[in-house]
Chains A and B, each alone.
Chain A
């Protein structure tokens, strides 16, 4: 299995605060890879580091052989990395449809925009109903759908998802995770999923990494992780 994303010896810091201490991580083409860990382990920082957003990094990050760490956030987005950020990053005062249109901004060519919009509405019919509504008035779940839809509009090869379950009702979370799996398979998008809810993440991921204080302490297939005693005790509550 070839690796779409390869991260080697990644260090990241906010000003003087070092958060990641030499992280190694791979995302295999077409797979869902989960990044697990407690609060403050560095999950969100890892995703930000991949996009060079708000953090300073050293080490190497390559997407299909192209180095990312020498580029800025907007260039990385144009290379096909869709980032669904922490807090969803909604453009509150714009309409739902405008939010989606913005997702396609990174694409060099505008054609196919209407079809892509239809595709997103196909995954998330609720968004079609809310197309002209100000995005700030959408519910948390709808905004999460919107954030995923916005990232999809850029036709990403790699989708980074930062805690899509955060603050949402269990039923909504179930829906969103089912759709994420479909997106992974139908769109052939590789996914790197950050989740605090280890059970949810392991259910849809092929492989997983466990992060503690900025280092990978455990990695393996989802099945291996699920049967690992330490993971079961600390993260699955069994």
Chain B
């Protein structure tokens, strides 16, 4: 029983990371109806940046904050330089660009930082009071960080004029322009935020899975499953989905298929959701009267 509880809680911890990456995916999907397949690799690259800053002697939270800012700028720059010129291109071309970005970041990280596996520190001391037999301090901390991030984003979108403008331009670009919103800038901002969220997720997962260019490959797949389960156009759903996938992955991995086949759980979930309920658990169907 204790073991089951432990597996569930530890699933919640990885779930928090999937939830974060799923949130980053939804962020870009909502605004552009594209899945950024390079999201995971961008997060991995960000984590390497954090590692570099730590090597340079910065304190953890200093490196953390700087990495978030740098990742924001990097992702916004990618939107501006690579994605924006594609805005009239067919769907498939955009997908190819995303895969191109994935490969570029993967190789770039390997080329600059090497393929050897590196340890990445956790900001949460192993013997902290909130750690226990059931859940390590880092697991508790990672869940906390994910929840804080979700709360911040929710408040941003719900209560600030800029957040409202971002939601508006995702929905109706022409009407947004007519009220004076620069839709291009909102897209850039969306990419920046997604990049920053990914960076946080990367830094939270790295202490667990260790840092190397392949770090996020599996995470992205789980995050994608999470986003689909929750509803690819719904941020709350994506977070919920991320946690569900984290727990399912851990439980099914420990009790049913074993750790080697864990990744296939994500694939089964993706296919299952697409067949049974394509709009996800909380996927929104917008009611419209004409």
Q: List chain A positions with a Cβ less than 8 A from chain B.
A: 51, 53-54, 72-75, 77-78, 83, 85, 89-94, 98, 101-103, 105-106, 110, 134, 136-140, 143, 150, 154
**How many cross-chain pairs have Cβ atoms below 8 Å apart between A and B?**
85
Pairs A–B under 8 Å by Cβ, sample size 21: A51-B178, A53-B177, A73-B178, A74-B183, A85-B175, A89-B175, A89-B178, A91-B172, A92-B171, A93-B171, A94-B171, A98-B164, A102-B176, A105-B180, A106-B179, A106-B180, A136-B286, A136-B289, A137-B288, A140-B290, A154-B180
Known: A136-B289, A138-B289. A102 touches B174 (CB 8 A): no
Q: Determine the chain B residues whose CB is within 8 A of the CB of A54 once the complex forms.
A: 174
A89 to B176, CA, bound (A): 9
Q: Determine the chain A residues whose CB is within 8 A of the CB of B178 once the complex forms.
A: 51, 53, 73, 77, 83, 85, 89
Across the interface, A102 reaches (CB within 8 A) one of B165, B183, B289, B290, namely B165
Q: Determine the chain A residues whose CB is within 8 A of the CB of B165 once the complex forms.
A: 102, 105
How close is A69's CB to chain B, nearest CB, in angstroms?
16
B84 within 8 A of A: no
Q: Determine the chain B residues whose CB is within 8 A of the CB of A105 once the complex forms.
A: 161, 164-165, 179-181
- Chain B positions 158-214 with a Cβ under 8 Å from a chain A Cβ: 161, 164-165, 167-168, 171-172, 174-183
Does the CB pair B287–A103 fall under 8 Å? no
B284 within 8 A of A: yes
Extra contacts, 5 of them, besides A73-B174, A74-B177, A94-B171 (Cβ < 8 A), are A53-B178, A77-B180, A94-B164, A94-B167, A136-B287
A105 to B288, CA, bound (A): 24
Known: A94-B168, A102-B164. A77 touches B289 (CB 8 A): no
Q: Determine the chain B residues whose CB is within 8 A of the CB of A106 once the complex forms.
A: 179-181
A55 to B187, CA, bound (A): 22
Q: Determine the chain A residues whose CB is within 8 A of the CB of B181 once the complex forms.
A: 74, 102, 105-106
Q: Determine the chain B residues whose CB is within 8 A of the CB of A74 once the complex forms.
A: 177, 180-183
Please give me the residue from chain A that is nearest to B289 by CB atom.
A137
The 9 closest A-B pairs by CB, nearest first: A106-B180, A89-B175, A77-B180, A73-B177, A136-B288, A83-B178, A78-B180, A74-B180, A74-B182
Interface size on B, residues (CB 8 A): 23
A73 to B174, CA, bound (A): 9
Across the interface, A92 reaches (CB within 8 A) one of B174, B183, B286, namely B286
Please give me the residue from chain B that is nearest to A48 by CB atom.
B174
Q: Determine the chain A residues whose CB is within 8 A of the CB of B161 once the complex forms.
A: 101, 105, 110
Known: A73-B178, A106-B180. A134 touches B287 (CB 8 A): yes
A38 to B174, CA, bound (A): 25
Q: Determine the chain B residues whose CB is within 8 A of the CB of A94 once the complex forms.
A: 164, 167-168, 171
> Which of B174, B181, B284, B287 is most buried by chain A, counting CB atoms within 10 A of its CB?
B174
How close is B51's CB to chain A, nearest CB, in angstroms?
40
Please give me the residue from chain B that is nearest to A89 by CB atom.
B175
Please give me the residue from chain B that is nearest to A78 by CB atom.
B180
Q: Determine the chain B residues whose CB is within 8 A of the CB of A134 once the complex forms.
A: 286-287
Scoring B residues 260 to 289 as 1 if CB is less than 8 Å from chain A, else 0, what string do you get?
Answer: 000000000000000000000000101111
A101 to B287, CA, bound (A): 21
Does the CB pair B171–A102 fall under 8 Å? no
Known: A78-B180, A98-B164. A91 touches B286 (CB 8 A): no
A83 to B175, CA, bound (A): 9
How close is A164's CB to chain B, nearest CB, in angstroms?
15
A137 to B171, CA, bound (A): 15
Q: Determine the chain A residues whose CB is within 8 A of the CB of B175 once the complex forms.
A: 85, 89-91
Q: Determine the chain B residues whose CB is within 8 A of the CB of A143 once the complex forms.
A: 289
Does the CB pair B179–A140 fall under 8 Å? no
Does the CB pair A93–B180 fall under 8 Å? no
A142 to B26, CA, bound (A): 31
Please give me the residue from chain A that is nearest to B288 by CB atom.
A136
Does the CB pair B179–A150 fall under 8 Å? yes
> Which of A85, A105, A138, A150 is most buried by chain B, counting CB atoms within 10 A of its CB?
A105
Does the CB pair B288–A92 fall under 8 Å? yes
Please give me the residue from chain B that is nearest to A101 by CB atom.
B164
Q: Determine the chain B residues whose CB is within 8 A of the CB of A138 once the complex forms.
A: 289
Q: Determine the chain A residues whose CB is within 8 A of the CB of B164 once the complex forms.
A: 94, 98, 101-102, 105
Across the interface, A137 reaches (CB within 8 A) one of B176, B284, B287, namely B287
Does the CB pair A102–B179 fall under 8 Å? yes
